[in-house]
Amino acid sequence: MGKDEACVAASGPNPQSDAILVNADGGLANAFVYIKDSFDGYAFDTPTQAVTMDQKGCIYVPRVFGVRVGQPIEILNSDATIHNVHALPMQNQEFNESQNRAGMRTTKTFTVPEVMVRFKCDFHGWMAAYVGVMSHPFFAVTDASGAFSIKGLPPGTYTLEAWHEAFGTRSQQVTIAPGGQQTVALAFSAK
């Protein structure tokens, strides 16, 4: 970051990477957790409210998030420096747009499900973010303690998958009884 004075001013003298965040109890933040199965026969309204991805302190905030197919993503530059937002999907349309001043906004949508779409900034090589694009609402991102909650899942047996940029994926079968809840623990290990 030292080569861009605006990044140093925005992030402080000793910025830390947010790629791997593990709390004292071993909880892993920023894992994308979702139901891998399809939900044919179900209809889910697409949210019209945008999810915001900010470029703040020369990092993407949030680093990991989820959206529904067709849900808008508002990309904001809060830094006093130039950024570009370069999405690198495998199934959706790639885009690469500059935001050369603070306050610039761009809105984008993805049209097909994809886990995960990587974002980068070609001006600042350390900047990375990832978005899970889902056709259904059954996904979450682990918080600072490593916890997550997926609500409203219909009764049935499903494959729950967790994705992390450094540790890959972990899957587990989970059965939800009518009116029931299920506690699941997924463990990642260093490669």
In CATH, what number is assigned to the domain containing residue 108? 2.60.40.420
Quick one: pLDDT band at residue 25, thresholds 50, 70, 90? Answer: confident
Residue 104 is predicted with a pLDDT of: 93
Q: Residue 50 domain-assigned?
A: no
| Mean predicted lDDT score pLDDT of the chain | 90
pLDDT at 17: 79
Contacts of 8 (CB under 8 A, 6+ apart): 1, 2
- Chain centre to alpha carbon of residue 31: 8
Cα angle 142-148-149, degrees, rounded to a multiple of 5? 150
Residues in the chain: 191
Residue 86 lies in a domain: yes
- Evaluate if residue 8 carries a pLDDT over 80: no
pLDDT of residue 1: 58
Given a cut of 90, is residue 185 above it in pLDDT? no
The answer to whether position 187 is within a domain reads no
**pLDDT at residue 144, as a whole number:** 93
Q: Is residue 12 part of a domain?
A: yes
Residue range(s) defining the domain that contains residue 69: 5-40+55-143+153-176
Predicted confidence band of residue 2 (pLDDT cuts 50, 70, 90): low
Both tokens of 54, joined, read: 């900010």
Average pLDDT of span 113-136: 95
The verdict on residue 181 lying in a domain is: no
Amino acid letter, residue 179:
G
Dump pLDDT digits (tens) for 79-88.
Answer: 989 899 999 9
> What domain count does the chain have?
1
Residue where the block lists tokens 């940029």: 165
75 assigned to some structural domain: yes
In a domain, 49, yes or no: no
